[in-house]
Amino acid sequence: MNALTLPDIAAQAARQPLPLEWVGMRGIALPVLIEGQRLCAKADAGVSLDDGEARGIHMSRLYLALERLETQNLSAGLMREVLQAFLDSHIGLSSGAYLNIHTDLMLKRPALVSPLAGWKTYPVTLAAHLKNGMFHVELKIEVPYSSTCPCSAALARQLIQQQFVDDFANKPLQHADVLAWLGSTRGIVATPHSQRSTAQLHLHLDAATEHLSLTDFINQAEAALGTAVQTAVKRADEQAFALANGQNLMFCEDAARRLNLALRRSPGIREFHLRVIHAESLHAHDAVAESRWQREAQ
């Protein structure tokens, strides 16, 4: 039997004629290049099946069109090229093409004070579609950070004041005594609660953006929050981190507002939806805030 005699079920007529919105493959293993970094990714590739009479799409054509993602830096333009290849290989069958790339971006981050550095991963999804000639690309990034509760900090300060009143009642204040007291556990009888938190950024990018810098978006988000989680840490770094947390006390609402204001200044974004999740240590549930923004039409 040769290739010409292989049965081609996809070319048959559908038994139950009906168009389908999305047909393709999910979770295709694929090495991709992002900002020069070779990353292990999973791709979802699909097209619409507009011709309800057609039995099936041609999965292998979508699969093979992904090949160019192995050798070229991932960009909006490259994703558009791949989507166009999906459509070109499904003329008469499909008017919409879809491509999602899921990966973990790895960034080496310096310590706050010491000359150390270490790696952090940031889950990333790039989702693009090309439909009736309209191209659309979105980027989802998760950024971990630390948040310290401002209310808890104020309550702790009040207890520290009360302890000071108790310990120094009716005593003349001596600089050395106060300094020693501040350095003792009595000088910090209560501590505010803080928690590892996550910002989920869902960015709708300008379709014309050629240079896609995920690192820039992550850096902007971390700078706005001021309390990025650390990698390699010595005591000097931990002390600097404690200071950063003390200087950036935040409810989830504060974090959402900070990110909103930073991202709307960021070039290349035309719309976003963000969610911050504070995995509370005070509660067994999370504190969550969401925010949206859309650039006004010019």
Ligand X SMILES: Nc1nc2c(ncn2[C@@H]2O[C@H](COP(=O)(O)OP(=O)(O)OP(=O)(O)O)[C@@H](O)[C@H]2O)c(=O)[nH]1
Q: Using CB under 6 A as the criterion, which residues of the chain lie in contact with ligand X when the complex forms? A: 8, 10, 56-61
Tokens representing residue 103 in the block: 């990966």
Toward ligand X, which CB reaches closer, 57 or 289? 57
> Chain-centre distance of CA 266, in angstroms?
15
Q: Residues 159-164: contacts with CB within 8 Å, 24+ apart?
A: 159/189, 159/190, 160/187, 160/188, 160/189, 160/190, 163/187, 163/189
Toward ligand X, which CB reaches closer, 89 or 245? 89
CA atoms within 13 A on the CB side of 277: 10
Q: How far is the CB of 271 from ligand X (least distance, A)?
A: 34
Toward ligand X, which CB reaches closer, 5 or 185? 5
Q: How far is the CB of 6 from ligand X (least distance, A)?
A: 7
Tokens representing residue 53 in the block: 């009479």
Q: How far is the CB of 96 from ligand X (least distance, A)?
A: 16
Instruction: Determine the Cα–Cα distance for residues 57 and 293; give it in Å rounded to an integer.
Output: 37
Tokens representing residue 5 in the block: 């005699």
Tokens representing residue 11 in the block: 């070319």
Toward ligand X, which CB reaches closer, 11 or 159? 11
Determine contact, residues 179/245, Cβ cutoff 8 Å. no
Q: How far is the CB of 247 from ligand X (least distance, A)?
A: 56
Instruction: Determine the Cα–Cα distance for residues 189 and 192; give it in Å rounded to an integer.
Output: 10
Closest residue to bound ligand X by CB: 56
Toward ligand X, which CB reaches closer, 13 or 261? 13
Q: How far is the CB of 221 from ligand X (least distance, A)?
A: 39
Tokens representing residue 203 in the block: 């960015």
